[in-house]
Amino acid sequence: MREFLATAPAGAAELLAAEALAAGAAHCQERPWGVRFSGELAVGYTLCLWSRVASRVLLMLAEAPAATPEALYAATAAIDWSAHIGPGATLAVDFESVQSAVTHTRYGALKVKDAIVDQLRSARGERPDVDTVRPSVRISVRVARDQAVFAIDLSGESLHRRGWRDAGVAAPLKENLGAALLLRCGWAAIAEAGGAFVDPMCGSGTLPIEAALIAADRAPGLTRDYFGFLGWGGHDAALWGTLKDAAAARAAASSWPPGRIFGSDHDSRAVEVARAAIKAAGVAHLVRIDHKPLAHARAPLPSGLMVVNPPYGERLGDLDSLRLLYAELGLVLREHFSGWHVGLLTGNAGLGRELKLEARRTHRLFNGPIEVRLLRFEVTPEHYSREHRPGRLPPVDPARRASGGAQMFGNRLRKNLDTLGRWARREGVDCFRVYDADMPEYAFAIDVYGDGGSERWVCVQEYAAPVTVAEERVRTRRAEAVSVLPAVLGLEDERIWFRTRRRQKGTEQYRKLAEQQEFHEVREGGLRFLVNFDDYLDTGLFLDHRLTRARLRELAASRRFLNLFGYTGSASVYAAAGGASSTTTVDLSRAYLDWARRNLELNGFSGREHVLVQADALEWLRGAPAAAWDLIFLDPPTFSNSKKMAGTLDVQRDHVDLLAAATRLLAPGGVLVFSTNFSRFSLDAGALPGLGVEDISRATIPRDFERNPRIHRCFLIRHTAPGA
């Protein structure tokens, strides 16, 4: 078995992982930049030939420390390059450095090249030449935190170059990103069901061509004449020939009929380029390109997929013309594409509102350096106007804005936003609570989430009213509050989420609200986290624990960290950022652990020292090794009786046994941070002999939660016995 790395456009790693598994990969692990996996050489070759979204496929050779240029040279020299670079072969070195002492990429590449050349000159009496364009062997070296990874670039050049595009034509969308859009939108299944494809702004034809390759079962690498492995010393020509012959046979056997894939554009020059491209790609019999304006686009079949990549409007003054363009697209969709699926790639997600359709899904991607959104729609009457659904802001009644109650609520929220907003900017706080039932009759908790830049979202939670309050009165005050929220917050209503917060019983606390799977990246304490406003009762980041997490970061240096009831792993991220030697995150939920993994990776923590354990924490504590951790964070739910658990958990009833079991795992000199959100919690310190307890609750209540000083309780717990 060999180890591989494969890269993909940001936001497409999940699609690449699915392709790797289909190719026979084992131990596939997603990363923000792509996937890491194991497999035979055939897996790497298959991805080079068949992957529609990969940028590069790398065969790992070695990993070694490289904290200095001399160490980098020595690590390179320790590899037998004669097994990879044959006599007369040319080479190139791609070098990347992340948080490492060797920061200059050209210098790092030169040190690697020198070590290889010196070794081969000594062994053969001749040195290989350098070819930076199409070398026989392209070597990839990435140094992260002074640890170098050496690999052979099997792709040789980016796999988005399918082998048919004229090098002189600049396409606004790379082929692998275009394929990722189609796969995200479900084109493979739509094509198999007999649906059609349309791109009414096709430009140079990337999307129609990729749609044809998918529908016709054509390997995207079949027409390429250059791969990095063709000149590599370990190349298996017979294996490659077998795989390529099999791909050619599949393409020949395809029965996908003509007349189902269409592209068009108002620019005659773009149409000319697109027609040349479909001919060069060998799909001219499957794709029709027309010269016509957007307004003339029509659905060729009752069902299908439209994917469109309109201009992004990078010049001043473009926004008004783009609004008109999007409005025109929306009209065309509603009048002529009813029943179709639509994918819209945009650099300004707010323009999507001009379609007068509700986006069903949103995906964050990058088109080169530009952050973009893929908005997915279903053109059906129920999506023509915005309908209320769990988690989204209810429809606004403009008449409510004039009421005295709405004005009072709006003024209070505006005042809070001004005061707390200035505090947040001064302290560098991007996610904070701006209102918490300040006016009891308007019983909402309102939280602002930011990404450290220009992106902001707001989550509004309505506290369930007592049964003594008339429902009509509740609806009136809700409508008054909702009517002023967008204007006061300065946000479109699509960026405001709304839900009712009730006391959860039994297994309700684990219940999903929806299945949107839309995550947003926010920032806290200089770190990055994913939050979800649709699918869960909580967003994934408890804002009242901000100072508690900061305390964990201060305590974590060189310590082994354990996060019990780890949830989405935010505490583990803080500990890792504080220099913890290792982190272990324990939670019963597979979904939360996957969320925790993504949070860790988002901040660059993906090594073996960061362990994720799916287990009932109560059961796991009984078998865990004693004195194995120096810092423990214990933040149990107030009550839990999940079906997956062996029993129930009541934090007030069970905290003594829970703390005794957890402190058994604490190494000498270690500290346990215990937190609970049970407002009436009372810690029984007398039942914890040999433990010192320090109540730090007041010091961990952030400024934005001071109105509710019992939002949580927090304690530092240590062994008091000598040597314990």
Q: What is the DSSP string of 479-517?
A: HHHHHHHHHHHT--GGGEEEEEE----GGGGG--S----
Answer for the pair 546, 702: CB distance below 8 angstroms, yes or no: yes
Instruction: Tell me if residue 416 falls in helix, strand or coil.
Output: helix
DSSP H or E segment with residue 376: strand 370-378
Neighbours of 244 (CB within 10 A): 15
CB burial of residue 515 (10 Å; 0-12, 13-18, 19+): exposed
Helices assigned H by DSSP within 254-383: 268-280, 318-336
Instruction: Tell me if residue 396 falls in helix, strand or coil.
Output: coil
Give the C-alpha separation, 696 to 673, whole Å: 10
Give the C-alpha separation, 339 to 195, whole Å: 11
Domains of the chain in sequence order: 2-153 (3.30.2130.30), 175-217+257-383 (3.40.50.150), 391-502 (3.30.750.80), 542-719 (3.40.50.150)
β strands within 47-126, DSSP E: 56-65, 90-98
Torsion from C-alpha of 99, 101, 106, 108, nearest 10 degrees: -110
CB burial of residue 156 (10 Å; 0-12, 13-18, 19+): buried
Q: Within 13 Å, how many C-alpha atoms sit on residue 283's CB side? A: 38
pTM, two decimal places: 0.57
Q: Within 13 Å, how many C-alpha atoms sit on residue 509's CB side? A: 15
CB burial of residue 404 (10 Å; 0-12, 13-18, 19+): exposed
Neighbours of 69 (CB within 10 A): 16
Q: Within 13 Å, how many C-alpha atoms sit on residue 69's CB side? A: 11
- Give residues with Cβ within 8 angstroms of 124, minimum separation 6: 82, 87
Which residues does the chain have with pLDDT short of 50? Answer: 315-317, 385-390, 502-516, 643-645
CB burial of residue 614 (10 Å; 0-12, 13-18, 19+): middle
Give the C-alpha separation, 529 to 600, whole Å: 8
Give the C-alpha separation, 200 to 263, whole Å: 6
Helices assigned H by DSSP within 500-563: 546-555
Give the C-alpha separation, 90 to 677, whole Å: 63
Tokens 């210098």 found at: 107
DSSP H or E segment with residue 593: helix 590-602
Instruction: Tell me if residue 222 falls in helix, strand or coil.
Output: coil
Give the C-alpha separation, 679 to 710, whole Å: 5
Query: Edge-to-edge strand order for the sheet containing 56-65?
Result: 26-31, 34-39, 2-7, 56-65, 147-153, 137-144, 90-98, 129-130
Answer for the pair 60, 24: CB distance below 8 angstroms, yes or no: no
CB burial of residue 189 (10 Å; 0-12, 13-18, 19+): exposed
Neighbours of 279 (CB within 10 A): 13
Give the C-alpha separation, 717 to 724, whole Å: 12
Q: What angle do CA 262, 266, 268 make, to 5 degrees?
A: 95
Check residue 241 and give its pLDDT: 97
Which two three-digit tokens encode residue 535? 């699918």
Amino acid in the structure at residue 16 = L
Amino acid in the structure at residue 79 = I
CB burial of residue 52 (10 Å; 0-12, 13-18, 19+): buried
Give the C-alpha separation, 167 to 161, whole Å: 9
**Which among 260, 275, 349 is positioned nearest to 305, based on CA atoms?**
260
**Which among 444, 389, 386 is positioned nearest to 412, based on CA atoms?**
444
Torsion from C-alpha of 447, 527, 509, 496, nearest 10 degrees: 30
Amino acid in the structure at residue 156 = G
**Which among 340, 348, 368, 355 is positioned nearest to 185, based on CA atoms?**
340
Check residue 594 and give its pLDDT: 87
Q: Is the dihedral of CA 77, 78, 84, 86 positive or negative?
A: positive
Tokens 């027309």 found at: 290
The Cα-based distances of 38 to 232, 262, 270 in angstroms read 20, 39, 42
Check residue 385 and give its pLDDT: 45
Which two three-digit tokens encode residue 299? 């659905």
Tokens 């020292």 found at: 609
Amino acid in the structure at residue 700 = T
Which DSSP state fits 262?
E
Give the C-alpha separation, 203 to 262, whole Å: 12
Give the C-alpha separation, 637 to 587, whole Å: 11
Q: What angle do CA 342, 345, 348 make, to 5 degrees?
A: 125
Q: How many helices (H) and strands (E) does the chain have?
A: 17, 31
DSSP string over 125-160: S--PEE-SSS-SEEEEEEEETTEEEEEEESSSS-TT
Check residue 421 and give its pLDDT: 94
